[in-house]
Every structure is written in C-alpha cells, then in structure tokens.
Structure 1
Amino acid sequence: MPALALTMLIAGIGIPILAALNAALGVRLGAPVAAASVLFAVAFLSSLVVLILMGPTGLSKVAEAPKHLFLAGVLIAFYVLSITFIAPKIGVGNAVFFVLLGQLISAAAIDHFGLFGAVPTPLGAMRAGGIAVMAFGVWLTQMA
C-alpha cells in the first residue's frame, strides 16, 4: 500500500506541473489546442513504450469493452484542453483548485454509489466532513 500511495502522490504532484507546462506551451505556440495535441502525441508515445515493454496483452479485448468506458479519453482531453486554455488566464493554482474541488465531489459520488466498478464506500457525515475540510483547505491555499 505505501508504494501505491506514493505513486498516486507523485501523480498528484504532476498534475499542476502538467498544467503549468502545457499552459506555457500553449502561450508560446499561440495555440492551446496545438499544445494539447502535442501533449497527447507525447503521452501516446510514452504509453506505447510502456505497452511494448510490458506486453500488449489487453489490446485483444478492446473491441469487447463497453463503449461508455472510452469516455475517459474524452474526459482527459477536456481536462488538458481546459487547463491549457484557462490556467494562463486565472493562474495554475486557481485552475487546479477547481480541478481538486471537482475531484473531491466526483470521487465521493463514485465511491458512495460504487460507480464504474468502484468499491462502494458510503458517504457518511464523517467522510463528508473530511471532504469539506479538504475543500476548505484547498480554498485557503488560494486566499493568500
């Protein structure tokens, strides 16, 4: 578990860095959509290398997967495009604040209802309070 938590912590650290780098690339190119497209090309090549190294065992089942699961690709494109457009206008910290707030809300709903195969974790008063404290803490960081 510690290795998994550390991996997710590093992934979380990467999100604002991704936002800042791609927003800067969008400004530099004068075209946020071009910056997002370059990011996806680099991401595709990176994941292709990992796929080759680990073996393409799951690709044969792609056609059998429920089509709604591919919405994840649309959502990541929406995130990257929106952060690339918006971060230069309101700042990376403010943009990521709203992303984190959205993540807290959607993660709580996904867990509470066991959506998309998630392990159901009811949203009781203690958990809701904890999420509220987290959201307040993120908000506080932006008030300085």
Structure 2
Amino acid sequence: MPATHSALIMLIAGIGVPMLAALNAALGQKLGSPVAAAVILFVVALSTALVVFAVANLTTGASMRGALSAPPHLFLGGSLIAFYVLSITWIAPSFGVGNAVFFVLLGQLISAAIIDHFGLFGATPNPLTATRMAGIAVMGAGVFLTQIAGRG
C-alpha cells in the first residue's frame, strides 16, 4: 500500500478519536454510566471487527490459529484500549473532549517516540533525535496553549 494511502487511513482514524470520545462520553451521560457506554462501544466494536475478519478470511484466508501460541504480552493491547475508552468516556464530560484528546495525543507522541527509539514490540528502530524531541516539546506547548492557558 502506498504511503499516501496509509497516511490518509491514519488521518481518518485520528479524526475518529475525538468523535469516539465525544460520542461515547455523551452516551455515558445519557445512560448515567460511563462503564455501560464503554461496554456498548466494545460490543459494537467486536461486531464490526468480526464482520471485517469474516470478509478478510474470505479474501485472504486469515486465521486465528496463531493466537494460542502468541506471547501473552501481545494481548495487553486489549487492556490498553479498554483503559483508553473507559478513561475518556469518564473524564471527557468534565475535563472537555479537547483537553482529554490533546493529552492522549501528547501521550501517544511520547510513547511512540520511545517505542520507535528502542524498537520495542518489533517496531523498526528510529532514533529519538533532538528534532523529534523538539517536535514533542512543541506539541506539549501546543496542548498547554490551546487547552490550559487558552481558558483565560
């Protein structure tokens, strides 16, 4: 897949993150339970993933056979997404969707830089240069300016 297609798909996924936060936070408020909203989100997500898997299985022969032999730490992603959904559903209504998502984004930049720098979890190593650190610092300053200092 060309890099431009990959970039576009990830841009669309990024656009979806604040929408997910706002929609699920609103659902949590309507239900009176952020946890119930998260459960509903995961039921819908599982259903969607199963449909996509079924289609992929038809076209590529995708299989779950390797899951039984995979190292246990590779399954932590499920817990991490549950933590994200539960925390953003709970916190966004009072903290603001913008604040919540900007801090998530800052955390993602820091984590991604560490993962890339050390080549963790099979990632291609990409050293943390002064330029990359400056970019993260600029993002941090942007979070402060747009979300914290901008309230005055």
The TM-score bracket by the shorter chain reads: over 0.9
Whether 1:39 aligns to 2:15 is: no
TM-score (norm 1): 0.96
Alignment of 1:1-144 (within 5 A): 1-55=3-57, 57-142=62-147, 143-144=149-150
Post-superposition CA distance 1:41-85 (Å, at most 9, x none): 000000000001110623011101111000000000000000000
Which of structure 1's runs of 4+ aligned residues deviate more than 4 A?
none
User: In angstroms, what is the RMSD of aligned CA positions?
Assistant: 1.1
Taking only the aligned residue pairs, the percentage that are identical comes to 66
Any conservation in 1 of the 2:115–2:123 contact (CA below 8 Å)?
A: yes
TM-score (norm 2): 0.91
Counterpart-to-counterpart distance in 2, 1:81 and 1:88: 12
Query: How many residues are matched?
Result: 144
Counterpart-to-counterpart distance in 2, 1:10 and 1:136: 24
Give, in angstroms, the shift of residue 104 of structure 1. 1.0
Give, in angstroms, the shift of residue 127 of structure 1. 1.3
